[in-house]
Amino acid sequence: MHGCPHSSAGRSAGERLQTRNHGQNAPAEGEDGLYDKIRNKAEVLSGDYPPSEVLEAALYGNKSLDDLMGEWNQKWSDAQSSESVEITE
């Protein structure tokens, strides 16, 4: 499994999912459903919460985009760890 979801410069989450769904980046044997488990545990690529977090930060100035990305990347890493995912570069 690859690193954090926000590290693919210039590619949206939808583009990464589209690539994955076309079999160009199919999960390794035994990893079917792993992406969905991690995404659900991390809560960064599902529902309305992430976009509303960005809007709230923009409105109230309580967090920078770098702060948000740092938090989301930490949540993603924690979710990977909880699934015993080893990161390979």
In a domain, residue 54? The reply is yes
Query: What's the total number of domains in the chain?
Result: 1
What is the domain extent for residue 45? 5-82
Q: Is residue 43 part of a domain?
A: yes
| Spatial separation of the C-alpha atoms in residues 2 and 56, rounded to whole Å | 29
* 87 is a domain residue: no
Kindly give the confidence (pLDDT) of every residue in the chain, 89 residues in length, as a single tens digit, with 9 standing for 90 and above: 555 554 444 455 554 444 445 556 777 788 888 888 998 899 887 777 778 888 999 999 999 999 999 999 999 999 999 999 888 87
User: Element (H or E) spanning 42, and its range?
Assistant: helix 34-42
User: Is residue 61, in this structure, part of any structural domain at all?
Assistant: yes
C-beta separation of 15 from 88 below 8 A: no
Asked whether residue 33 is assigned to any structural domain, the reply reads yes
